[in-house]
Structure 1
Amino acid sequence: MKIEKEIIPFETESSFKIHTPCFKNYFFWHYHPEIEIVYVEAINGISHVGKHVSGFVGSYLVLIGPNVPHLNFDYGIETEYKQIVVQLKENFPENTIISTPEFAKIKKLLERSYLGFSFEGQTKEKVVEKLKEIQQMKSFDSLLGLIEVLNILADSSEFEQLNHEDTRVKFFLNDKIRLGTVYNYIHENYDKSPDVNIVAEMVHLSTSAFCRYFKKQTDMTFTDFVNQYRINQAKTLLLCDVSVSEVGYTVGFDSISYFNKLFKTLVGETPTEFKKRHKSVVNSKLI
Structure 2
Amino acid sequence: MSSTLLKLVFPPPLSTVVSAFTVVSFLVLAYCGISEMIGKHLNYSKFATAEKQKKKIKVPSRAGMVLLYGPAFVAGAASFWLYPNEGVRSVLLNSVVTFHYFKRLFEVLFVHKYSGFMYLDSAIPITLSYFVSAATMTYTQHLTVTEGLPEPQIDLMYPGVAVFLIGIIGNFYHHCILSKLRGEGEKEYKIPKGGLFGLVICPHYLFEITVFYGISMISQTVYALCFAVGTTFYLVGRSYATRKWYVSKFEDFPKNVKAVIPFIF
TM-score by shorter chain over 0.5: no
Structure ID, larger Rg: 1
TM-score (normalised: structure 1): 0.28
TM-score (normalised: structure 2): 0.29
Higher relative contact order (CA 8 A, sep 6+): 2
Structure number having the greater strand percentage: 1
